[in-house]
Structure formats: C-alpha cells, structure tokens
C-alpha cells in the first residue's frame, strides 16, 4: 500500500474580501462617472486615472473596465498601445523630455541620451533607488523655449545636456539630505 505523503503545513491564507465587490473609491468614481455611456472616452479616462494616481494601478483599471462596460483585455490593450501610460508607480522625480518637432531640431536627443547614460535607464523606466522616472513626451506647448525638459511639473527652457544633468544631480543631493534628516 502506498504511503501517504506527509501533511505540509501551508501558511494560513486570510481572505481579505474582493475589493471589486465594492463601489469604486470616490476619487475614481469622480473620474469615471462623467464618462458613463461614452464608448470613445476610454483614453480620456485612462489619462485622468494616470494624472490622479501618477500611473495606472491594476485595481483602478479593473474598476474602470467594469464600470464602463469594457472587457479588461481592451482596457489593457489600449493602455499598452501608448507608451505614455505607466503601470508602475513613478519615482520621486518625474523627468519629461520633450520630443516635439521644435525640441527635436534643437537637439533634445542629446539631452535624452545624457540622462539615460547618467541614470542607466531608458524611457519609461525608473532608477532602482526609485529617485527618477524618465519619460519622453510630445510637444508640451512651449516650443519657443525649445529644447524643453519638464521635471516635476517645472518647465526648464533652452536646456542642454549639462544643465539638465546639473538639475538632476541637485535633486539627487536634495533627496540624500532629506533622507538623512529623516534618519535623525
Ligand atoms: S516641441 Fe517641445 S515644446 Fe513644443
């Protein structure tokens, strides 16, 4: 007779309830509600979710799909099509390098390359210390100031690779000071 395998002591699983059984949280409902019954509003809703949360959290996408009546696969399909959308929380500092025409002819590529080289990340990525997230964006509407870099909502005009890196190095030093103060 075959002997029975010893009973394994599995970790206890505590069921925390299905978060989707509830209504969307109020801040998400205020994004979704104006777009109910609007089949063309999916991108707008995704943009607003990202603006509010800084990225597209999985749970919020599930709510949006259910509440607006889209298959979840369609929501992800649309979100993944545009590299503007992020699926991970951004780092402490968000860097947007403008890639519009005016910035392009003003050599924004050299700025982008310098940031990539210094930080060791590509567009859409976050440094392992979660200090910087790098994104390229289309025209930010300040073409006369090209090339433009936007760091944490602040627009920097007529940037060079060197000036951009000075700003990032300053933010890095600032973060180190803040962390040190927090440890005292
Ligand atoms: S192209 Fe960069 S601001 Fe317009």
Determine if ligand 1 sits within 6 Å of the CB of residue 143: yes
Least confident range of 9-13, 91-95, 154-158 = 9-13
Determine if ligand 1 sits within 6 Å of the CB of residue 102: yes
Q: Mean pLDDT for the chain? A: 90
pLDDT digits (tens, 9 = 90+) for 51-76: 899 899 999 999 999 999 999 999 99
Mean pLDDT on 159-177: 95
Output the CA torsion sign for 172, 141, 137, 164. negative
Report how far ligand 1's centroid is from the alpha carbon of 135 (Å).
14
Is the pLDDT assigned to residue 34 strictly greater than 70?
yes
**pLDDT in the model for residue 5:** 58
Determine if ligand 1 sits within 6 Å of the CB of residue 112: no
Q: Which atom of ligand 1 is nearest to the CA of 142?
A: 3
pTM for the whole thing?
Answer: 0.72
Closest to 37 (Cα-Cα) out of 69, 64, 5, 60: 69
Within 21-63, strands assigned E span none
Report the CATH superfamily, name and number, of domain 93-182: Glutaredoxin (3.40.30.10)
pLDDT > 70 in the chain, percent = 93
181 near 173, Cβ under 8 Å?
no
pLDDT digits (tens, 9 = 90+) for 70-94: 999 999 999 999 878 889 899 999 9
104 near 51, Cβ under 8 Å?
no
Phi (first) and psi of residue 154, to 5 degrees: -95, 130
**Pocket test residue of 112, 143, 144 for ligand 1, highest count of atoms within 8 A of CB:** 143
CA distances to 8, 44, 50, 65, 165 from 138, in Å: 55, 17, 16, 27, 21
What are the residue boundaries of the structural domains of the chain, listed by start? 23-81, 93-182
Residues 6+ apart with CB under 8 A from 19: 59
């Amino acid at each position: 007779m075959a002997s029975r395998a010893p009973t394994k002591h599995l970790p206890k699983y505590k069921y925390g309830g299905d978060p989707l059984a509830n209504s969307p949280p109020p801040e998400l409902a205020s994004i979704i509600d104006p777009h109910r019954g609007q089949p063309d509003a999916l991108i707008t809703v995704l943009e607003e979710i990202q603006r509010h949360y800084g990225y597209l959290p999985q749970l919020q996408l599930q709510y949006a799909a259910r509440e607006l009546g889209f298959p979840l696969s369609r929501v992800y399909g649309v979100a993944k099509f545009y590299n503007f959308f992020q699926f991970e929380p951004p780092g402490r500092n968000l860097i947007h390098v403008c890639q519009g025409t005016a910035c392009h002819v003003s050599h924004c590529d050299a700025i982008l390359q310098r940031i990539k080289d210094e930080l060791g990340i590509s567009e859409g990525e976050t440094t392992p210390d979660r200090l910087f997230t790098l994104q390229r964006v289309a025209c930010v509407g300040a073409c006369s100031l090209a090339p433009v870099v936007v760091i944490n909502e602040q627009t920097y005009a007529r940037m060079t690779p060197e000036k951009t890196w000075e700003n990032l190095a300053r933010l890095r030093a600032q973060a180190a000071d803040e962390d040190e103060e927090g440890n005292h």
